[in-house]
Amino acid sequence: MEADYLVLGSGLAGLYFALRASEHGRVLVVSKRGLTDANTHEAQGGVAAVLGAGDTPEKHIEDTLRVGDGLCNTDVVDMCVRQGPQHILHLANQLGVAFDREPDGQFQLAREGGHSARRVVHARDMTGAAIHDALLERVRERGDRITLLPDSMAVDLLTTAKYGGPNAVFGAYVYDQNTGAIRTMLARAVVVATGGAGKVYLYTSNPDVATGDGVAMAYRVGARVANMEFFQFHPTCLFHPAAKSFLISEALRGEGGILRLLDGTPFMARYHEMKDLAPRDVVSRAIDAEMKRTGDDCVVLDMTHLPAQFLVERFPNIHRRCLGLGIDMRTMPMPVVPAAHYSCGGILVDANGRTNVRNLYAIGEASMTGLHGACRLASNSLLEALVYAARAAEDVRDATLDRPQQVATWYPGDATVADEAVVVSHTWDEIRRLMWNYVGIVRSDKRLERAARRMQLIREEIREYYWNFLVNRDLLELRNIALVAELIIQSARRRPESRGLHYNLDHAEHDPRLARDTLLARGDGPAV
């Protein structure tokens, strides 16, 4: 198959890019599972943008820089904050996203952790689904220009370097999960919009698709990745055996929710002046510390002091889900624990989403733009995805196809059908437990050293298995998540300090010499 632009991923970044790029080219959108299986669709809180009276871009910029803990790219922060509102208005006025409004028609704005003002545009507690559904509907209306391919997973990117030329991307091998065939897809440019990598950890708020595929594929063809050590843990995921780490939005604390110990004692005042609305890294570490101190399995988020009707109307999805599990947020506190939520690192890009590999772009959570620094400010992620998808869609106009005259089709060699799937599932579980225990909210030099040694052996085992057996989605995801785990470990070992989301017990303070990005590229370290 051939198109002007090949998009890997069907979340907000991928669909918004596809819509805008379809104005000047044909677009193929590949989605690993269903088209709504994306982090975007699960997003509850909203999009941060300066749209309220009394708020200013300068305040939003200041909040972002403060939470980013010295590593934000100030030019990128300024660009995203100032360009974001126009995209919110475009979503609402042209694309039909039904954001919550005040009686006078103004956007209803929420406040979340780290923000000094109410600036989070939302659609109840299902903002991501509202945006995603509207975008998907608009994309389907452009069927003459945009082709959607669900149940299709990219295996590897195609590059001219493999044919003896300079390194440029011209497509991808894509595994069709319905037929088992691997198709060759060609394009003038490839856009990685594969989202995050939360499944690298044992407990995560992310859907099952978040296995870091884009970062792994880009790294394998020479793209630089940056700041992989900064993985954000959301402080409040529902602690319940049937909840599968269901996210309890930060917006609840924005409306007055209080974190308490199981005995009812509030504790956040001991950790930060903003108390329950402190930045996420602070809140997650505080909860982790209190759980270790008390021996309790969780803490609780208390909303019972707020009007019952307000809770039901403002958070209908969370109320409904909790009620189904026997937890009535109107009358009882909700048990919560931190869980892996968002990767602030990713494929290093410029202000237009370009990587260092020609014709390869990255947008959304898979990218590292410099907006988030060492810790993401709440609801800045969808903002970043919108701004960069639009900028990449404009920049990609100039991409020219540079590919060999004869492109090799996928060749499986002597690979056979795997007869022991337990090998994959066991290794997957081992990686996630290793990352949670050794490379989680709190780290140490010894934990990172142990993780590095074990991951080296695991990746050797996966390499041998990969070349001996025919690929399937589980094996491809395992290969990718193992590489992402390695990148996180190596990045963390290269930062002997504590900053933002990276907290090392052996280096508890900032080191001014390390106020820079951690860069990795294939060939310059162990993560090959």
Q: Is the pLDDT of residue 165 over 70?
A: yes
- The CATH number for 308's domain is 3.90.700.10
Does residue 502 sit in helix, strand or coil? strand
Going by DSSP bridges, is the β-strand pair 146-149/27-30 parallel, antiparallel, or unpaired? parallel
- The whole-number pLDDT of residue 26 equals 98
- The whole-number pLDDT of residue 525 equals 53
Does residue 282 sit in helix, strand or coil? helix
Span 255-290, pLDDT tens digits: 999 999 999 999 999 999 999 999 888 999 999 999
Q: Is 53 exposed, middle or buried (0-12, 13-18, 19+ CB in 10 A)?
A: exposed
Would you say residue 110 lies in a domain?
A: no
| Residue of 280, 391, 447, 495 marked active site | 280
State the residue range of the domain holding 303: 231-341
Q: What confidence category does residue 526 fall into, taking pLDDT thresholds of 50, 70 and 90?
A: low
Of the candidates 359, 381, 358, 375, the one whose C-alpha atom is nearest the C-alpha of residue 367 is 381
- The whole-number pLDDT of residue 3 equals 96
Q: What is the Cα 122 distance to its own chain's centre? A: 19
In angstroms, how far is the first alpha carbon of the chain from the final one? Answer: 30
From residue 426, alpha-carbon distances to 106, 153, 423, 437 in Å are 52, 22, 5, 17
At CB < 8 A and 24+ separation, what contacts does 140-148 make? 142/18, 142/19, 142/22, 145/22, 145/25, 145/26, 145/27, 146/18, 146/19, 146/22, 146/26, 146/27, 146/29, 147/1, 147/3, 147/26, 147/27, 147/28, 147/29, 148/10, 148/29, 148/31, 148/35
Q: What confidence category does residue 246 fall into, taking pLDDT thresholds of 50, 70 and 90?
A: confident
Is residue 280 part of the annotated active site? The answer reads yes
Would you say residue 494 lies in a domain?
A: no
Span 351-395, pLDDT tens digits: 999 999 999 999 999 999 999 999 999 999 999 999 999 999 999
Mean pLDDT value across residues 72-100: 97
- The whole-number pLDDT of residue 281 equals 85
Would you say residue 208 lies in a domain?
A: no
Of the candidates 101, 107, 100, 97, the one whose C-alpha atom is nearest the C-alpha of residue 134 is 97
- The whole-number pLDDT of residue 527 equals 53
Would you say residue 274 lies in a domain?
A: yes
- The whole-number pLDDT of residue 429 equals 94
Going by DSSP bridges, is the β-strand pair 231-238/519-520 parallel, antiparallel, or unpaired? unpaired
- The number of helix segments (H) and strand segments (E) in the chain equals 14, 18
Would you say residue 303 lies in a domain?
A: yes
The mean pLDDT of the chain is: 94
Would you say residue 510 lies in a domain?
A: no
Would you say residue 320 lies in a domain?
A: yes
Of the candidates 144, 149, 171, 146, the one whose C-alpha atom is nearest the C-alpha of residue 159 is 171
* Domains: count for the chain: 1
